[in-house]
A and B are shown apart, each in its own frame.
Chain A
């Protein structure tokens, strides 16, 4: 019997190693796998590279992981937002490496990694600072730059419902980066608000088929705050 459910958060994070590249789903307050981030803080892995849209807010979740000195590098599109105080402090102090990636390029690098595509050309960033030192090709009269895919060791994902095979659905704007990060990591860990019986999720409505998911942990926390 396939059963990807694990009993607790410690079991969900087991084996995440020092130096790992960890993707963190979510956009704004919605779809953040906060319980998994807290569990990663407890788990102890360090020297991490984090892939996320934002660089944390306040002093909780991702910001707390960074404040604990466990993050070496962050790859994101929008590090500066309301309350990104920890990022500001660490970045100013030279204690955090930053790779800024346009949001759509970030999403496509993740999607490509999950799809086995090592690199792709995009017009995004051509002729700008973020396109410097990248290979340029012309297709049909337009310039494009080469971007490499972005695979990860671990993806932390928040779903609305998941079953023991790992099939997932998300809630409203909570799908965001979660569904693509789930495809791009060697170890995909899902925290889900609801656990569904096998067959209970309409096959037509499955967003992330279970093949992409390794572990499922039940975290019924309620609504996003903020």
Chain B
């Protein structure tokens, strides 16, 4: 099939999210594409990264000869600590999350509904032993939840839906979605398209989306 528009790769999606994170925010980045966002925040912009297992001020992955075996992130990868960083236990870590102290959490998703419902922890009701980790706490606790994900699954199924079919992580949690095709806000009116990749039309985006998309009301030309 001929493609006449750009499709962002994972690094480009991460870079696009990073553009919108201002200095001074405390952020938790989920596993997968969200983790890549850290690589695209310029060092001059002080964004403090939180990890569920008790780290604030998390830095990038270490050089192979600089690995500290006592310092891992929630994805169990080795990380570093910036000057000013701190360690704490799990109850304090989730007090930061549940208590609304984290400005932003970026998560991956299986589905996001037009009312902001998020499904990202279990793929079917029959999966009796899924791993929830901290996803539900983050989804209800952070001040804002953004999702970064491919617009459609490998099978071509839209991840933006009217109602989630997978088990829910949280109700009405998501405020913005960054996909490889667009930036979409979740509003009381539903999905509002803020941005599309060059060469993509609104109609073509709507064709790939299983819920109604809206244009911003104040959109100029």
**Which A residues form the contact surface with B (CB < 8 A)?**
27-30, 77-82, 91, 98, 100-108, 110-111, 122-130, 170-180, 207, 223-225
Task: Give A22 to B131 CA distance when docked, in angstroms.
Answer: 21
Chain B residues within an 8 Å CB radius of A130: 132, 136
User: Does B136 lie within 8 Å of A124, measured CB to CB?
Assistant: yes
Contact with A along B160-182 (1 / 0, CB 8 A): 00000001111100000000000
Confirm or deny: B89 has a beta carbon within 8 angstroms of a beta carbon on chain A.
yes
Which range contains the number of B residues in contact with the other chain? 35 or more
Extra inter-chain contacts (8) besides given A28-B53, A103-B134, A130-B136, CB under 8 Å:
A27-B90, A30-B70, A78-B132, A100-B132, A110-B91, A127-B168, A176-B53, A223-B70
User: Does B70 lie within 8 Å of A128, measured CB to CB?
Assistant: no
User: Does B54 lie within 8 Å of A104, measured CB to CB?
Assistant: no
* Given A80-B130, A126-B171, A177-B89, A108 and B70 contact (CB-CB distance below 8 Å): no
User: Does A173 lie within 8 Å of B53, measured CB to CB?
Assistant: yes
User: Does A224 lie within 8 Å of B70, measured CB to CB?
Assistant: yes
Task: Give A172 to B71 CA distance when docked, in angstroms.
Answer: 6
Task: Give A179 to B53 CA distance when docked, in angstroms.
Answer: 12
Chain A residues within an 8 Å CB radius of B132: 77-78, 100-103, 130
User: Does A81 lie within 8 Å of B140, measured CB to CB?
Assistant: no
Task: Give A27 to B132 CA distance when docked, in angstroms.
Answer: 15
Identify B169's interface contact among A101, A128, A179, CB under 8 A.
Answer: A128
Chain B residues within an 8 Å CB radius of A171: 70
Contact with A along B63-98 (1 / 0, CB 8 A): 000001111110010000100000111110110011
In this complex, the member of B51, B72, B97, B171 whose beta carbon has the largest number of chain A beta carbons within 10 angstroms is B72
Identify A81's interface contact among B51, B53, B131, B136, CB under 8 A.
Answer: B131
Nearest neighbor of A174 in chain B, beta-carbon distance:
B70
The 9 lowest CB-CB distance pairs between A and B, nearest first, are A104-B137, A104-B94, A179-B89, A111-B91, A107-B90, A172-B70, A28-B76, A103-B134, A102-B136
* Given A129-B122, A171-B70, A223-B70, A108 and B91 contact (CB-CB distance below 8 Å): yes
